[in-house]
Structure 1
Amino acid sequence: MDKFDHKILAALHENARLSFAELARRVNLSAPAVADRIDKLERAGIITGYHVGVDLARLGFPIQCVIELTVKHLEFYAVLEKLKDVPGIVSCESITGSSGLLLKVAVDTMAALQTLIAELMQYGDTKTSIVIDTPITPRLPPLPVD
């Protein structure tokens, strides 16, 4: 990867809908060169998809939380399979430490959150934290400059 690939990634991270022509203008390459580089980044598994940012509160899910779920080691993979079908779970990360799983959750009411937590408690211990703000939006780490 060189500085052009880094610039392409930064531009796509900001707006994944940019055309090849607009990307080419921003990174000072031709549109075919940009298309070729994006293809290589996709084949290398660096670009894994194109996503839309959604305001969950405006979508009707004003209550967002992170829930640490501590699962017994022997049940870990079985629980992961069950969690894939639980509505309200927006993402799931396997983490180090005592918890094991970090769930991001979005629900419409406190009653829905209570129901979700009760469902999760059958798989292990939970620790819930309400998200009150996202002062730093998701971003790329600093990319090296060639």
Structure 2
Amino acid sequence: MDKFDKKILSSLHENARISYAELARRVNLSAPAIADRIEKLERTGVITGYHAQIDPTKAGLPILCMIELTVKHLDYYVVLERIRNMPQVLECASITGTSGLMMKVAVDTMPSLQTLIAQLMQFGDTKTSIIIDMPVPPRMPQLLADD
């Protein structure tokens, strides 16, 4: 990946709807060259998709939490499948340490959160933390400098 690819990725991360013409101006390449590079980045799996960022609080889900779940070993894959089907779960990571899973969830009310926690408690122990602020919002990973 060269400096042009890194500029393309940075611009797409900032605005995935940018036109090839505008991207070409920013990166100082032709629009066909941009299209070729983006196609290669997609084909090699560097770019995995294009998404709209949605603020759950403005979409009617003002309560954001992180929930750690310590899963019983025998139930792990069954639990994962159940969690994948819970619309309140925005993200789920399998983590090291005492907890098996870390989930980011969004709900509309405290009773909804209580119901979700009760559902998760059937799979193991939970620890819930309310998110009060995101001082570092989701961002693109730092790309290594050219050698």
CA deviations on 1:81-116 (whole Å, 9 max, x unpaired) are 111111311111111111111111000000000000
Aligned residue for 2:40? Answer: 40
Displacement over 4 Å in runs of 4+? none
Q: Distance in 1 between matches of 2:15 and 2:73?
A: 40
CA deviations on 1:40-65 (whole Å, 9 max, x unpaired) are 00010110000111111110000000
Q: Distance in 2 between matches of 1:115 and 1:143?
A: 41
Aligned residue for 1:52? Answer: 52
Q: Which amino acid aligns with 1:106?
A: A
Q: Equivalent residues in 2 for 1:58-137 (5 A)?
A: 58-137=58-137
Q: Distance in 1 between matches of 2:28 and 2:71?
A: 50
> TM-score, normalized by length of structure 2?
0.96
Q: Distance in 2 between matches of 1:109 and 1:135?
A: 23
CA deviations on 1:6-49 (whole Å, 9 max, x unpaired) are 11111111111111111111111111101100000001011000
Q: Which amino acid aligns with 2:108?
A: D
Which consecutive unaligned segments of at least 5 residues does structure 2 have? Answer: none
> TM-score, normalized by length of structure 1?
0.97
Shift of 1:141: 2.3
Across the aligned residues of Structure 1 and Structure 2, the Cα RMSD in angstroms comes to: 0.9
Report SS of the residue matched to 1:57: helix
Shift of 1:143: 1.3
Which consecutive unaligned segments of at least 5 residues does structure 1 have? Answer: none
Q: Which amino acid aligns with 2:15?
A: N
Q: Which amino acid aligns with 2:79?
A: V
Q: Distance in 1 between matches of 2:139 and 2:87?
A: 26
